[in-house]
Amino acid sequence: MNPYSIEKTPLDVLELLAQKVKLLRKERKMSQADLALRSKVSLGSYKRFETTGHISLDSLLRIAFILGRLEEFEGLFKANEYKKLEALFLE
């Protein structure tokens, strides 16, 4: 993260996601090879993800599924949520 900014960059978020996945993997006592095999992501891609944060969205979703966190992605980019709330207050 840029030490002179409070805003996170896309790279910051990638690295943070990789750290969180690594912690979840370790909590479940899984090796990198175990998680890669179960998620059908190549071991090389998974190792690169933990190191750099770079991975395809498809692979990330497969990993999230194995770790029981897929539903957390469903809440991204909801456009109509705020409109529904706004309508409640305008009635």
Q: What is the pLDDT of residues 41-62, one digit of tens each?
A: 999 999 999 999 999 999 999 9
Q: Which residues lie below 8 Å from residue 67, measured CB to CB, with a gap of 6+?
A: 21, 24, 25, 28, 35
8 A C-beta contact, residue 63 and residue 41: yes
Q: What is the mean pLDDT of residues 16-20?
A: 96
Q: Chain-wide mean pLDDT for the chain?
A: 88
pLDDT at 91: 58
Band of pLDDT at residue 75, cut at 50, 70 and 90: confident
CATH code of the domain made up of 10-90: 1.10.260.40
Band of pLDDT at residue 82, cut at 50, 70 and 90: low
User: What is the Cα–Cα distance from 84 to 82, expressed in whole angstroms?
Assistant: 5
